[in-house]
Amino acid sequence: MSRFLVTGGAGFIGSHLVKRLLAEGHTVSVLDDFNDFYDPAIKRANLASVSEKIQIVEGNICDRDLVESLLKHGGFDTVVHLAARAGVRPSIDFPELYLQTNVIGTFRLLEAARQAGCNHFLFASSSSVYGLAEAVPFSEKLPLPQTLSPYAATKLSGEHLCGNYANLHGMRAVCLRFFTVYGPGQRPDLAIHKFTDLIENGKPVPKFGDGNTRRDYTYIDDIVSGILGAIAYRGKNFDIFNLGESETTTLNELIATLENALGKKAVIQQFPEQKGDMPRTCADITKARELLGYAPATPLSAGIPKFVEWYRGNKKGGHQE
């Protein structure tokens, strides 16, 4: 069994991963700063059921002394770096915060891992790096000449840093481009959770543009299985994989699916398109299927009812045991 450091391990994706790693018998430490991007109590609740089985270190990934000490003394086999300032729209308002956390923080972890002799590093990237790419579905081989937001730029920068450390220091670094992850425990600011809450309570749902933007929505269990496949991957020292569902859904279709699952009609509040938003995302998952054994099993039609069931059982927010 292995020793893992999961940064951002109290968050949505991180807490699901932590529980899967524990179930497989691994030793897990979590580094999380429990910031107020959304209610920190939700993050603490995410790990409540396993808090006695793991080490939880509260701190910032940009804190060089903390990160170096943790890696030096942790004896970790693998770092799974999920911590980040998330979200396209807030990154436009606070670009420096995103650059500091997502770029410098990633560098701090890579450097500390190198110093500690931990040569296995997984980095959570994002479908947002594809920007205005027109070739659909998005392949990892696509050139990426332009991102559309500071958030996307920081994720692409993180990928490049991982590539540097693989090339210069022989580190095994794998970057995973997540495509719009949802499911039980999803962050309350993300569309599916936010829209569910608004429709359930009869409040207006903000719709930006004509509703024809398309997203590749990926269920959390599929994402975690993809991460586990990447952990086991022993191919090239540096590699990049898409983790998506490989199906796209328009905003209008998403709202209709939520209406159906909730048994309620949405009250739509119309807004113009927002700067920084990608017109569509769609993952080519051929590479992940072949090399990671990645096989997403929960289409949106099945995942949304599961999410609604969780939501109605946890109306005050919270976590999935």
Amino acid at 197: D
Catalytic positions = 151
Sign for the CA dihedral angle at 76, 77, 79, 80 comes to negative
Which tokens belong to 124? 């959570």
Query: Could you give the percent of the chain with pLDDT greater than 90?
Result: 90
For 23, 88, 191, the CA distances from 254, given in Å and listed in that order, are 33, 19, 9
Superfamily of domain 3-182+217-246+283-296, CATH level 4: NAD(P)-binding Rossmann-like Domain (3.40.50.720)
pLDDT category of residue 259 using cuts at 50, 70 and 90: very high
Q: State pTM to two decimals.
A: 0.95
Domain ranges (residues) in the chain: 3-182+217-246+283-296
Q: What is the pLDDT of residues 268-318, one digit of tens each?
A: 999 998 887 888 899 999 999 999 999 999 999 999 999 999 999 987 544
Query: What Rg value do the Cα atoms of the chain yield, rounded?
Result: 19
Q: In terms of Cα–Cα distance, which of 269, 260, 268 is closest to 308?
A: 260
What integer pLDDT is reported at residue 68 of this predicted model?
Answer: 98
Cβ-based neighbours of 108, under 8 Å, separated by 6 or more: 61, 62, 63, 64, 67, 68
Backbone angles phi, psi at 176, to 5 degrees: -115, 120
Burial grade of 259 (CB within 10 A; 0-12, 13-18, 19 or more): middle
| Terminal Cα distance for the chain, rounded | 23
pLDDT category of residue 132 using cuts at 50, 70 and 90: confident
Q: What is the pLDDT of residues 76-90, one digit of tens each?
A: 999 999 999 999 999
Phi-psi region of 186 (alpha: psi -120 to 50; beta: other; left: phi over 0): beta
8 A C-beta contact, residue 185 and residue 16: yes
Q: Among all chains, which residue has been given the structure tokens 């540097």?
A: 164
Other CB atoms within a 10 A radius of the CB of residue 75 amount to 13
The full length of the chain comes to 321
For 4, 64, 126, 156, 235, the CA distances from 240, given in Å and listed in that order, are 20, 27, 11, 11, 11
Q: Which residue has the higher pLDDT, 304 or 319?
A: 304
Q: What is the pLDDT of residues 166-218, one digit of tens each?
A: 999 999 999 999 999 999 999 999 999 999 999 999 999 999 999 999 999 99
Helix axes 191-200, 251-262, angle to 10 degrees: 50
Q: Average of pLDDT values for 136-147?
A: 94
What integer pLDDT is reported at residue 316 of this predicted model?
Answer: 52
